[in-house]
Chains A and B, each alone.
Chain A
Amino acid sequence: MSKMRHEEAGLTDQQVLDMYYYMLLARKIDERQWLLNRAGKVPFVISCQGQEAAQIGAAFAMQKDTDYLCPYYRDLGVVLVFGQTAKDAMLSAFAKKDDPNSGGRQMPGHFGGKKWNILTGSSPVTTQVPHAVGIALAAKMQKKELAVYTSFGEGSSNQGDFHEGANFAGVHKLPVIFFCENNKYAISVPLKKQLACESVADRAIGYGFKGVSIDGNDPIETYLAVKEARERGLRGEGPTLIEAVMYRLVPHSSDDDDRVYRSREEVEEAKKKDPILTFAAYLKEAGVMDEATEKEISDRVSKEVDEATEYAENAPYPDAESYKLHVYGE
């Protein structure tokens, strides 16, 4: 019998099961946050739904503890693999004191945490791209072997900071992975109104490095592309631009209504390729996951999300007077 796709990619059965677990965990945290938002308990949600496969595939290819992440606001799946938990995500959603990203100062999705090598992020899109290049430059100067992952949407690939960062990294042949999560919409504006080129990956040629376009609904394909990009970077062959093609299954945020700019038919069609479903089907077909295992994972995820929600809801807010702190160092 020929090897399964994940085996060919060098992934064990346990690793792909872990991938599935993280995908499901990201999805269920996200879904719960929408419920909490609609119940009036959390003010804002920004989603990863539909992007979990790419996020988990990419994060599995990065080296936890040594590599750095400069993620964008949808990358819940990525930061979970790097060590954040359901509890952390919920503390952030409820804006509680122990939110590890910001102590409740930032909206959800603004990830950060030095202990996980996740650089703090902001809301103006794409500013993280030059930061990733700067980390890679600094590591090179300090002779540290590491790669840097930075992600952004296809809309953000139009920003000056994308161009300036990619060009700089190309000139200095830095080990940066520019990971574009092309979910087809920049809030309401579709791809065809964002770019005139076929693929975001086409842009790489202008910076003198490799660009690849992959199926972002496939965690194994994503894992392989990022793994190769990482190795290329560490060999001193420079950055890689990866366009992971996917679909944003829900509105831009809890404040958005996507019915005004895309048809329900289009969304329903995309849901057929929902990576949670397709990857579960693959794992079953490959004989890696039976129904009992699927249920075990699903139960474990549900329990984690329930516990995290309860914990975060009851956790203390930051002390009101603490808004004055940390403008400058002591």
Chain B
Amino acid sequence: MAVISFIDAVTMAMREEMRRDPNVFVLGEDVGVRGGVFRATSGLIEEFGEERVIDTPLAESAIAGVAIGAAAYGMRPIAEMQFADFIMPAVNQIVSEAAKMRYRSNNDWNCPITIRAPFGGGVHGALYHSQSVEAMFNSTPGLKIVAPSTPYDAKGLLKAAIRDNDPVLFFEHKRCYRLIKGEVPDTDYVLPIGKADVKREGTDITVISYGLTLHFALQAAEKLAQEGISAHILDLRTLYPLDKEAIIEAASKTGKVLIVHEDNKEGGIGGEVAAIIAEHCLFDLDAPIKRLCGPDVPAMPYSPPLEKAFMLNPDKVYEAMRELAYF
């Protein structure tokens, strides 16, 4: 099996789906001849032509809104937001329209749209090319939010998103794009949206995470294993609706839970995960639930020491995991 990067897995998923179904098409800013600013759509215009790989005008609400109309008509659009930070003009279309079409029409209409957006920092992107915006969407029933952390999951979940009959927001951590590599079959497979995945089995502490920080936890777990501490690591993969069963199971298994994400702590996904644990398995816990997250400042600063201070890293995650293990 070939070892490929995260971004190549994203491209592979789109290419395979476009070959499989003529209704699948891509639209967004610079997705055509440029192949996307991150090159996620590289090679697609050459294979599928400009009718199916559409360089849109620079207007995010239209990218989402036009895709919504096309999806309602019966197409399978993949709309790219160049950076998750720039999704804001499209929020009305995503939250008021895509997420509510099925419900408000009493199941008459639906909106099978996939919206891809690179999120997260650590790439010298400063305030407006580094944000994690998932928490803004994670109380929107009707919408699904997916954030894979490995190339294998990225391919299988993106294909599932494209085939899903409801709108899916698909967040790709941009630092993972070329940093994270893994085995990806070139065969057709899909992974279930709504299911978390145990990325490491362990017995002493549980870490629940997604995106780039999941890899920090995996690295820290290696180091802790040498010290005799066994970490159980759950990758949420789908952020809405959350896989409650998997969260409860993972928390109950060790009784010590650390939730890690790059998004701000207050109001982040971690709060919801903690609430699920508190509601369902509080008495299985041997320590207070701990969260390690991005700081509650407006966004990530540009200057290297500032960015470094904002970002989590394997050392910070290691410290938090170790502290919890010795609680």
Check B72 for interface membership: any CB of A closer than 8 A: yes
Number of interface residues of B (CB under 8 A): 43
Closest Cβ of chain B: how far from A327's Cβ, in Å?
5
Q: Which of B51, B61, B109, B144 sits near A112, CB closer than 8 Å? A: B109
Give CA–CA (A127, B97) in the complex, Å. Answer: 8
| Residues of B with C-beta under 8 A to A123 | 96
Interface status of A160 (Cβ within 8 A of chain B): yes
- Docked-complex contact A164 and B61, CB < 8 angstroms: yes
Q: Are A141 and B75 in contact (CB under 8 A)?
A: yes
The interface size of chain A toward B, counting residues with CB under 8 Å, comes to 43
Closest to A98 in B: B106
Q: With A131-B72, A141-B75, A328-B142 known to touch, is A124 a contact of B65 (CB < 8 Å)?
A: no
Please report which residues of chain B, range 145-195, place their CB below 8 angstroms from some CB of chain A when the two chains form the complex.
Answer: 165-166
A68–B74 Cα gap in the complex (Å)?
A: 13
A166 to B73, alpha carbons, bound, how many Å?
Answer: 19
Structural contact, A127 and B69, CB atoms closer than 8 A: no
Q: Which of B52-60, B248-256, B306-314 contacts A (4 or more CB under 8 A)?
A: B52-60
Residues of A within 8 A of B165 (CB): 328-329
B101 touches A (CB below 8 Å): yes
Are A135 and B69 in contact, with the CB atoms below 8 A? yes
Contact (A120, B105) CB under 8 Å given A135-B69, A141-B51, A328-B142: yes
Contact indicator B65/A328 (Cβ below 8 Å) = no
Taking a contact as CB atoms under 8 Å apart, the answer to whether A131 and B65 are in contact is yes
In the complex, per-residue mask of A117-159: 1 if CB is within 8 Å of any chain B CB, else 0: 0011011100101111111111101100000000000000000
From residue A133, how far is it (CB to closest CB) to chain B in Å?
Answer: 5
Question: Can you list, as one digit per residue, whether each of A79-90 has a CB less than 8 Å from chain B (1) or not (0)?
Answer: 000000000000
Verify if B110 is at the interface (C-beta below 8 Å from A).
yes
Distance A298 CA – B68 CA, assembled complex (angstroms): 41
Q: Are A161 and B70 interface neighbours, CB within 8 A?
A: no
CB-CB under 8 A from A137, the residues of chain B are 66, 69-70
- Tell me whether A160 and B110 are in contact (CB under 8 A): no
Is there contact, CB below 8 Å, between B57 and A119?
A: no
B103 CB-CB contact with A under 8 Å:
yes
Say yes or no for B257: interface residue by CB 8 A criterion.
Answer: no
Known: A105-B104, A131-B72, A329-B110. A160 touches B61 (CB 8 A): yes
- Asked if A112 and B105 make an inter-chain contact with CB atoms under 8 angstroms apart, the answer reads yes
Chain A, 157-206, CB within 8 A of any chain B CB: 160-161, 163-165, 167-168, 171
Q: Are A164 and B108 in contact (CB under 8 A)?
A: no
**B33-88 interface with A by 8 A CB criterion:** 51-52, 56-57, 59, 61-62, 64-75, 77
Evaluate contact between B59 and A164: CB separation under 8 angstroms: yes
A136 CA to B75 CA, complexed, in Å: 11
Report yes or no: A122 in contact with B96, Cβ–Cβ below 8 A.
yes
Tell me the minimal C-beta distance from A68 to chain B in angstroms: 8
B62 & A167 in contact (Cβ 8 Å cutoff) = yes
Q: Would A141 and B52 count as touching, CB distance under 8 A? A: yes
In the complex, the answer to whether A134 meets B66 with C-beta atoms within 8 Å is yes
User: Which residues of A are found within 8 Å of B89, using beta-carbon distances?
Assistant: 160
Which residue of A is nearest B64, CB measured? Answer: A130
A102–B107 alpha-carbon span in the complex (Å):
8
CA distance A209 to B191 in the complex (A): 45
Q: How far is the CA of A122 from the CA of B89 in the complex (A)?
A: 17
Contacts of A165 in B (CB 8 A): 62, 65-66
**CA gap between A328 and B23 in the complex, in Å:** 21
Q: Cβ of A251 < 8 Å from any Cβ of B?
A: no
Q: Does B92 have its Cβ within 8 Å of any Cβ on chain A?
A: yes
Residue of A nearest to B112 (CB): A329
Q: Is the CB of B57 within 8 A of A171?
A: yes
Q: Determine whether the beta carbon of A327 is less than 8 Å from that of B70.
A: no
Q: Is B25 an interface residue (CB 8 A)?
A: yes
Chain A residues, CB < 8 A from B102: 326-329
Interfacial chain A residues near B11, Cβ < 8 Å: none
Contact of B71 among A129, A134, A161 (CB under 8 A): A134
| A103 and chain B: residue at smallest CB distance | B106
B57 with A167: CB separation less than 8 A: yes
| A168 in contact with B108 (CB, 8 Å) | no
Q: Is B107's CB under 8 angstroms from A120's CB?
A: no
Chain A residues with CB under 8 Å of B114's CB are none
- Distance from A329 Cβ to chain B, minimum over Cβ atoms (Å): 4
A138 touches B96 (CB 8 A): no
Q: Does A101 contact B (CB under 8 A)?
A: yes
**A325 to B61 CA separation, bound complex (whole angstroms):** 28
Q: Which of B52, B77, B93 has the most CB atoms of chain A within a 10 A radius of its CB? A: B93
Q: Closest CB-CB distance, B61 to chain A, in whole Å?
A: 5
Asked whether B109 lies within 8 Å of A130 as measured between CB atoms, the reply is no
Q: Which residue of B lies closest to A167 (CB)?
A: B57
Q: Are B25 and A132 in contact (CB under 8 A)?
A: no
Question: B141: CB under 8 A from chain A?
Answer: yes
Do A135 and B73 touch across chains, with their CB atoms under 8 A apart? yes
Determine whether A43 belongs to the interface, using a CB cutoff of 8 Å to chain B.
Answer: no
User: What is the CB-to-nearest-CB distance from B91 to chain A, in angstroms, rounded to a whole number?
Assistant: 11
- A129 closest partner in B (C-beta): B65
20 interchain pairs (CB within 8 A)? A102-B105, A110-B104, A114-B109, A120-B72, A120-B109, A124-B96, A127-B97, A130-B61, A133-B65, A134-B65, A134-B66, A134-B72, A134-B77, A141-B51, A163-B59, A167-B59, A171-B57, A326-B103, A327-B103, A328-B102
| 10 closest cross-chain pairs (CB), A and B | A134-B69, A130-B65, A103-B106, A131-B69, A164-B62, A120-B105, A138-B70, A134-B66, A138-B73, A134-B70
Contacts A112-B104, A119-B72 supplied; 13 other A-B pairs, CB < 8 Å = A105-B106, A130-B69, A130-B93, A133-B62, A134-B77, A161-B62, A164-B57, A164-B59, A167-B59, A167-B62, A168-B56, A326-B107, A327-B141
